[in-house]
Every structure is written in structure tokens, then in C-alpha cells.
Amino acid sequence: MHAVIKAVSEQGRRLNVKQATLREWRGEFARHLRELGVEANATSRYARGQTTPRKSDGIYRAAARGDSRYWQQQAESVARELVKGQWPPEAATPRLLASRQRLEGYWQEVARMLDTQGQRELASATRQFVRSLPQPRTEREHIRTFMLEHARAARDRRHELTR
């Protein structure tokens, strides 16, 4: 479920709500739902293994309008690398991989604790969740993967038409 919050004061002025405040609100919202008997949680993107970074409001809105110079520049840069057939290592990759290792370690510890408590089925499901986490990728790697998949699909469609 997704909830939308209109961040406007009683006077109609836009409120600048900090990320930490939103996280707190999400947690409280989930807690209230659980009190009402609704299964709910407020896990972070990190805990779910999602690595695509959140973009600023300006970049997000420009992308929604279809005139994001940021995404255009990123896509053009990745396309140039693909044409050359080489892409340099990214500075963020070691941090991203270290972060993923920590996350997997946290979940493995949860699985061990569940085993200790005799909850073998839940421990097994937790280990399966860790195995199913998406591969950690930088933003540029996500763009590269998207472009390559799109190119392959276009090639396959052309191949089907020439049969």
C-alpha cells in the first residue's frame, strides 16, 4: 500500500518535511495499522535490498514532465560508454557492495536467531529472501542494463519481422 501525504500547512504553505520525519511517520502509521489488526511494516529500501538511490524532488518532477536534463545526461553518458564497449569502474561500487554484505549479514543473523527460537520455517524463508535480493547496482549500471535489455528486445523484434 502507498499513502500520499500532502505536505501543506493549515495556511496553505508547502511544508519541508525531512526524510527522518517521513521515516518516523511511516513507522508510526504501520504501528497503528498493526494495532487495528492489519499486517503492516515500514521497512526501508535498504532492508529490502533496493539500491537505486532516491532523487531530489526537482529531478523527480522534471522526469515526470519528460524534460529531465539529469536523466538525459546520464543516459547519453552511458550510451557513449556502450558504444565504446567499455565502462570505467565507479567509485560508489565498493561502498555499495560493502553495504550489501552488511545487509546480508544482518538478515543471516535474523535467520540464526529464528533457528535458535525453533522457528525453522521462518528462518528458511529469511534465507530465501536473502538469496532473492536483487543484485546491487549503481544508478549507471541500472541505466546500462535498461539500455542493453531495450536494445536486445528491439533486435529480437527486428529478427522476428525478417523471418
Residue-by-residue DSSP string for 2-21: ------B-TTSPBP---HHH
Residue with more model confidence, 51 or 159:
159
143 within 8 A of 151, measured Cβ to Cβ: no
pLDDT, tens digit, 9 for 90 and up, residues 90-134 = 888 898 899 899 999 999 999 999 999 999 999 999 999 999 998
Position 14 pLDDT exceeds 70: yes
Residue with more model confidence, 162 or 37:
37
One-letter amino acid of 50: Q
Torsion of the alpha carbons at 111, 97, 45 and 18, rounded to the nearest 10? 130
pLDDT of residue 36: 94
pLDDT of residue 55: 72
| Mean confidence (pLDDT) of the chain | 87
Lowest mean per-residue pLDDT among 46-50, 127-131, 142-146? 46-50
Residue with more model confidence, 34 or 4:
34
49 within 8 A of 133, measured Cβ to Cβ: yes
pLDDT bucket at 8, cuts 50 / 70 / 90: confident
pLDDT, tens digit, 9 for 90 and up, residues 58-86 = 787 887 888 888 888 888 889 988 888 88
Q: Where are the alpha helices (DSSP H) in 38-138?
A: 57-65, 69-84, 92-116, 120-132
Please give the model's pTM, rounded to 2 decimal places: 0.62
For residues 19-34, give the mean pLDDT.
89
d(CA 49, CA 139): 14
CA dist 85 to 46, 126, 137, Å? 31, 39, 19
d(CA 127, CA 133): 10
Burial class (CB in 10 A: 0-12, 13-18, 19+), 151: exposed
Q: What does the radius of gyration of the chain's CA atoms come to, in whole angstroms?
A: 21
Instruction: Give the start-to-end residue ranges of the domains of the chain.
Output: 70-161
